A and B are shown apart, each in its own frame.
Chain A
Amino acid sequence: MWKTVLRRIMIMIPEVIILSLLVFLLAKAMPGDPFTGSINPKSDPAQLHHLMEMNGLYDPWYQQYWNWVVHLFHGNLGNSYQYQEPVTRLIGSRAVNTIWLALLTTVLTYCFALPMGMFAAKHEGKLPDNIVRIYTYVTYSIPFFVVLVIGIWIFGYVLGWFPTTGSVSATANPGLPTAGSHLYHILLPSILGALFGTVNVVQYLRSEVIDAKRSDYVRTARSKGVPEKDIYKHHIFRNSLLPIAAFAGYSITGLLNGSIFTETVFSYPGMGLLFINSINYRDYTVITALVLIYGILNLLGTLLSDIILSIVDPRIRIE
């Protein structure tokens, strides 16, 4: 078990190094420089030159990369050129928003998917199973950003049930009302994300439960006279739940990739929206930091899932 984890982490290290190098070089290759936006006809070329030199932008790339890595290990990701603020603090404040959104989406996804998967498996091959199958097929096929746009149109603008921009209302009182306003702002994107993200969990749970239904311990329980309801509740569901928990790690990956779309549509100030803004302003330090963070989070998500799976299923473990 620990061997598996250790081995995975050993493989992760070179991956992260390659990613950091790749990201750094790509950001350098982007056209324009961070000061292009602040140039006006009155600005002095000498001053611009000085700024570039101050920030070490004339150094050879390996020197710049080395400086960047050294700073990275000191917990310093540099300053954002656009916001004039340390990148760590900037991303930190945005990351909180993204994480809340992802958490609520994950919780809601499981709330919708678990009953659906159980229900479909219980009535395997019958009408409810078919309905769930059609539902997952429809939600899986439609590109998610289209769902978001139509969702914000119907529920945000036409019906006016949900806010359409921002993460918190400016007029909310501190304390509980602010927290409530935060929740209110992430509710619609989370519900949409959960409704349209059930397919993996539902299909996996369904096949797990169908397998369990035919297993010996269920037959034993049934012949003992355990009521059908209790068989599902205590025997099948418990046994099928753990592998499903493993999906939580993978779903982080999917949610992070989706966060760019969700946050753009809802103008929600999280990391995804910050990325789009930084791209438009050529804010290298923020871009590199964000891609690196997303990459590492992807790795950790997969690692988490693999660890859970290897606990559940001994066949995966490396001896």
Chain B
Amino acid sequence: MEENLNKHSNISAADLDRLTKEASEEATPSSAKIVWNEFKADRPAFIALFIVVGFILFVMIASLFINTPKMMETNIMNYNISPGTNGYTLGADAGGRSIAQQLIVGSRNSIGIAIGLTIISSTFGICWGLISGYFSGYIDWGMQRVYDFMMMLPMTMMIIVLVTIIKNYNAVSLTLIFSIFYWEGTSRLIRSRTLSESEKDYVAASKTSGTSSLKIIFREIMPNISSLIIVDTTLSFAENIGVETGLSYLGFGLPIQTPSLGTLIANANDPNNITEYWWTWLPAALLIIVLCLSISYIGQVVRRSADASQRQGDAEQ
């Protein structure tokens, strides 16, 4: 490539190097780089990112070494033993099951469902919003009525009813049930941005030159609102952790044999547990708080980097 260039021009290799370097310095940094700079500039955000990524990795790996059915076996000798005894770091619950192990497996399940839910519901919501916003008119009107209808449904109740109907549900079917109800927020946000985006000149130009609608939507409009999509996805991830754990807490999320952070907190429903055996539920509650705070803080930082006027990372370049 370099030799080829040299044949047709008389720029020396050293000059070429220098020019490339200069050009890359002057070019606008890529969005990944902007986000990274933003994290480097904001120490707490860096810590939050570290906590979240580190914790997810730890939980994924550690849960591989835990035999879940064996962990969930009742062991009456260890009834509610306090933390630090018999090798139970965080004590045991009323069935003599180790809280520490349940926390690890439970976090894996809860985070896994939250990730699945975020991916499915965001993808659907983004497509819905893009299509609805791009084809204004009857298509948009029809899609908006569906949206209105979904907004009217009492979500928690509908999920509980659906969960009771399905006999042998597992993590996958649970994620799908949640996804039915959690795409509206995303779709509304994306729709309003797409509406304003499709009035811009580049879309009109693309239409005149005969580009297909699908290509305009997904190859031209979507990249232009990608920062909004990233921000929304991060923030809804934090929310989705609350969705699954909340339903599991009520007893309509993951089945009892599958630990989740929500089922652990449900130990607090017993007035005995909540005061005397606090270790059965408090660690899970604190863990959820730390996780949700960290994730939505990361979301705030990503949002800031998407908005050039609020960036902090630029100054230190």
Q: Which residues of A contact B250 (CB under 8 A)?
A: 260-261, 264, 276
Interface residues in B230-268 by Cβ distance below 8 A to A read 238, 241-242, 245-246, 249-250, 252, 265, 268
Residue B153 at the chain A interface, CB threshold 8 Å: yes
Residue B300 at the chain A interface, CB threshold 8 Å: yes
- Bound-state CA distance A177–B155 (Å) is 37
Segment of B58-66, B130-138, B217-225, B281-289 engaged in the interface with chain A: B281-289
- Give min CB distance, A104 to chain B, whole Å: 21
Segment of A112-120, A152-160, A209-217 engaged in the interface with chain B: A152-160
Instruction: Determine whether the beta carbon of B275 is less than 8 Å from that of A291.
Output: no
Residue A241 at the chain B interface, CB threshold 8 Å: no
Residue B123 at the chain A interface, CB threshold 8 Å: no
Segment of A43-51, A57-65, A90-98, A138-146 engaged in the interface with chain B: A138-146
Closest to A27 in B: B161
Segment of A167-175, A186-194, A225-233, A292-300 engaged in the interface with chain B: A292-300
Q: Which residues of A contact B300 (CB under 8 A)?
A: 137
Give the interface centre of A27, A146, A150 by most chain B CB atoms within 10 Å: A146
Contact digits for A254-265, partner B, Cβ 8 Å, 1 yes 0 no: 001100110010
Instruction: Determine whether the beta carbon of A26 is less than 8 Å from that of B162.
Output: yes
Cross-interface CB contact of B288 among A137, A143, A152, cutoff 8 Å: A143
Decide: A157 near B271, CB < 8 A? Known: A295-B154, A298-B152.
yes
Residue A80 at the chain B interface, CB threshold 8 Å: no
Instruction: Determine whether the beta carbon of A153 is less than 8 Å from that of B274.
Output: yes
Instruction: Determine whether the beta carbon of B268 is less than 8 Å from that of A153.
Output: yes
Residue A312 at the chain B interface, CB threshold 8 Å: no
- Bound-state CA distance A143–B161 (Å) is 22
- Bound-state CA distance A26–B159 (Å) is 11
- Bound-state CA distance A51–B300 (Å) is 58
Instruction: Determine whether the beta carbon of B157 is less than 8 Å from that of A260.
Output: yes
Residue B167 at the chain A interface, CB threshold 8 Å: yes
- Bound-state CA distance A15–B297 (Å) is 38
Residue B293 at the chain A interface, CB threshold 8 Å: yes
- Bound-state CA distance A151–B192 (Å) is 38
Residue B70 at the chain A interface, CB threshold 8 Å: no
- Give min CB distance, A85 to chain B, whole Å: 21
Instruction: Determine whether the beta carbon of A146 is less than 8 Å from that of B154.
Output: no
Instruction: Determine whether the beta carbon of A295 is less than 8 Å from that of B153.
Output: yes
- Bound-state CA distance A27–B292 (Å) is 34
- Give min CB distance, B241 to chain A, whole Å: 7
Closest to A165 in B: B271
Decide: A291 near B167, CB < 8 A? Known: A157-B274, A261-B246, A264-B250.
no
Residue A30 at the chain B interface, CB threshold 8 Å: yes
Q: Which residues of B contact A176 (CB under 8 A)?
A: none
Instruction: Determine whether the beta carbon of B155 is less than 8 Å from that of A257.
Output: yes
Q: Which residues of A contact B296 (CB under 8 A)?
A: 137, 140-141
- Give min CB distance, B223 to chain A, whole Å: 29
Decide: A302 near B154, CB < 8 A? Known: A27-B161, A142-B289, A143-B292.
no
Instruction: Determine whether the beta carbon of A291 is less than 8 Å from that of B157.
Output: yes
Q: Which residues of A contact B252 (CB under 8 A)?
A: 279
Instruction: Determine whether the beta carbon of B246 is less than 8 Å from that of A31.
Output: no
Instruction: Determine whether the beta carbon of A19 is less than 8 Å from that of B285.
Output: no
Given A15-B152, A287-B161, 5 new contacts (CB under 8 A): A15-B148, A141-B238, A142-B289, A153-B282, A291-B158
The 4 closest A-B pairs by CB, nearest first: A143-B242, A294-B154, A141-B296, A157-B275
Q: List 25 A-B contacts (CB under 8 A).
A: A15-B152, A19-B152, A26-B161, A26-B165, A30-B161, A137-B297, A138-B293, A140-B296, A141-B295, A142-B288, A145-B265, A146-B265, A149-B274, A149-B285, A153-B268, A153-B274, A153-B278, A257-B154, A257-B156, A260-B157, A276-B160, A287-B161, A294-B157, A295-B153, A298-B153
